Amino acid sequence: MKICVICEGCYPFVAGGVSSWLHGLIKAMPQHTFVIWAIGAQEKSRGKYAYEMPENVAELRDVYLDEMMASHIHRPRRSHLTSAQKDNLKRFMRCEQPDWNDIFSFFSGKPLENVSFLMSDNFLDLLEELSTEDYPYVGFTDYFYCIRSMFLPLLYLLGTEPPQADLYYSVSAGYAGVLGAMASLRTGRPFLLTEHGIYTREREEEILRTDWVPPHFKNLWIRMFYMYTRCAYQYASRVTSLFHRASLIQQEIGCPADKCRVIPNGVAYERFSGIPLKEPDGWIDIGAVVRLVPIKDIKTMLYAFSLVCQERDHVRLHIMGPTEEDEEYYSECVHLRDDLGLENAVFTGRVNVLEYLQKIDFVLLTSLSEGQPLAVLEGMAAGRPAVTTDVGCCRELLEGVDDGLDTAGYCVPPMHQKAMAEAMLAMCNNTAERLRMGEQGQKRVAANYRHAQMLSRYEALFEETGGEKLGGDRI
């Protein structure tokens, strides 16, 4: 089967997380041919990939959102819009649920042709109506630039030609999910969506916290991402999540329950379970395998660790992961580490996790949002318990769901420095309890989260979905 994987801001540009998971999935399925359709932010990233492509990747097609900024866009002539087209475009620009079939048909030109709509008289006419109806007390210029910046990326992407494939598979909603829906409608081939986290909830939190979106437009931006996700849910044949609670959230957002499937992550248990426990050396070593980005909340990690260091000596923090994804945030974290005087906290950059875990007593995660974190699963498979924030599937991983096993760590509220520090101190100060938790976590992974189990479930899903013939009109 030829599977087109649609990636947004992850594989193959960024290491770790979903990228690592996807790279392993492709390598483990040599019987299939894969095409990577990757959305990148900046064209300067072309060719600078974090992974060497597996042999069964036949094509890497990358598109960069800043390419349109360097292009000259011609203002189109006014064209006739039917009343139905006007109404649908207004729903689209309001971020209500439009008729996506008509949207894909309307924006079926080349990338710059699609983008030129935002310079057209038709667009200005619609915008004037919407401004009067929805934002009468906001300056028209502000509204104009808001709408342009919101829809520029999508219209540009809709002009890209889908690679030929038997199955389109997106590993997130958002722009990638809309492209999957468009590809399915244009080719008649099925579309499958996997969400590791809940895309819309993550974007919503980012927008609420950001300063670059004016307060009076934040709800509009949030509705836009919900609209894109509902588009993906509408046209996907199946929508998978990593745990039951995430599936329920997908259904709350608008995914039909009969499309939903839960497929937990899996790790190479045999490789990680063979890692020996760290030899006692008088130090407690805490390991965080994490990307250095704001959603991982490294600053709370550092503040909490500084509280731990006030209570006990001989404790070290190893923050393992790539630092180049958000260099400004990484620099802020380094300065914070230095300001707090944490000489025993080190940013290692990328490491061989299998080897580095031999130096670690327990695992730490301070994320604001997660799906089912591989770093926690890998640590548990190696017999290392974890201290995590209560996000995503973390509590389920540590406490289990009626599996007859005991807890494998501590789960605390996000951004709660004191609670995080107290949990870390409890782990540091009780060796017997820490080792017992590590044993329970290792047993839980052995029973429920093996890589082979995950692969067999995805293979069955690909075969089931890829063989479907879609009815209805194509665009």
Task: Kindly list the averaged pLDDT for each block of 10 residues, start to end, along the chain of length 475.
Answer: 94 86 94 95 85 95 81 76 95 96 94 90 94 93 94 94 96 95 96 93 89 93 97 97 94 96 94 94 96 94 98 96 91 97 95 93 95 93 97 94 93 97 97 97 96 94 82 50
The amino acid at 212: W
- Token pair for residue 180? 């999957």
Domain membership flag for residue 323: yes
Domain membership flag for residue 179: yes
Backbone φ and ψ for 322, nearest 5 degrees, come out as -65, 145
Out of 122, 149, 176, pick the residue that ends a domain: 149
Domain membership flag for residue 329: yes
Match 């087109």 to its residue by tokens.
Answer: 4
Q: Total domain count for the chain? A: 3
What DSSP string runs through 145-175?
Answer: HHHHHHHHHHHHHHTSPPPP-SEEEESSSHH
Stretch (H or E) spanning 431:
helix 431-448
For residue 285, give the CATH number of its domain. 3.40.50.2000
Domain membership flag for residue 140: yes
425 and 343 share a domain? Answer: yes
324 and 445 share a domain? Answer: yes
Q: Judge whether 378 and 272 are in contact, CB under 8 Å.
A: yes
pLDDT at position 75 is 78
pLDDT at position 473 is 47
pLDDT at position 475 is 54
251 and 286 share a domain? Answer: no
275 and 334 share a domain? Answer: yes
pLDDT at position 470 is 64
pLDDT at position 80 is 87
277 and 255 share a domain? Answer: no
- Indicate the SS3 state at residue 467: coil
Out of 99, 116, 149, pick the residue that ends a domain: 149
116 and 165 share a domain? Answer: no
Stretch (H or E) spanning 240:
strand 238-241
3-state helix, strand, coil in the chain (%, to 5): 50, 15, 35
- CB-based contacts of 235, cutoff 8 Å, min separation 6: 100, 180, 181, 184, 185, 191
What DSSP string runs through 20-50?
Answer: HHHHHHHHT-TTSEEEEEEEES-GGGTT--S
Domain membership flag for residue 156: no
- CB-based contacts of 283, cutoff 8 Å, min separation 6: 314, 315, 316
Backbone φ and ψ for 262, nearest 5 degrees, come out as -115, 120
- Token pair for residue 335? 């300065």
Can you tell me the distance from the alpha carbon of 366 to that of 317, in angstroms, rounded to the nearest whole number?
13
pTM given for the model: 0.84
User: CA 178, 184, 185 angle in degrees (round to 5)?
Assistant: 90
Map 117-153 to HEC letters. HHHCHHHHHHHHHHHHHHCCCCCHHHHHHHHHHHHHH
Domain membership flag for residue 21: yes
pLDDT at position 70 is 62
Q: Judge whether 245 and 197 are in contact, CB under 8 Å.
A: no
Domain membership flag for residue 472: no
102 and 142 share a domain? Answer: yes
Can you tell me the distance from the alpha carbon of 349 to that of 326, in angstroms, rounded to the nearest whole number?
13
Out of 125, 149, 173, pick the residue that ends a domain: 149
Q: How do residues 272-326 score in pLDDT, each as one tens digit?
A: 999 999 999 999 999 999 999 998 999 999 999 999 999 999 999 999 998 888 9
The alpha carbons of the chain give a radius of gyration, in whole angstroms, of: 24
208 and 329 share a domain? Answer: no
Can you tell me the distance from the alpha carbon of 67 to that of 147, in angstroms, rounded to the nearest whole number?
19
For residue 294, say if its preceding peptide bond is cis, omega within 30 degrees of 0. Answer: no
123 and 37 share a domain? Answer: no
Of 354, 171, 207, nearest to 295 by C-alpha is 207
Q: What is the largest CA-CA distance in the chain?
A: 77
390 and 409 share a domain? Answer: yes
Domain membership flag for residue 255: yes
Can you tell me the distance from the alpha carbon of 302 to that of 308, in angstroms, rounded to the nearest whole number?
10
109 and 244 share a domain? Answer: no
Can you tell me the distance from the alpha carbon of 10 to that of 196, in angstroms, rounded to the nearest whole number?
12
pLDDT at position 46 is 86
Q: How do residues 112-154 score in pLDDT, each as one tens digit?
A: 899 999 999 999 999 999 999 999 999 999 999 999 999 999 9
Can you tell me the distance from the alpha carbon of 329 to that of 321, in angstroms, rounded to the nearest whole number?
13
66 and 103 share a domain? Answer: no
Where in the sequence is the domain holding 120, given as residue range(s)?
83-149
| Positive or negative torsion for Cα 17, 22, 23, 28 | positive
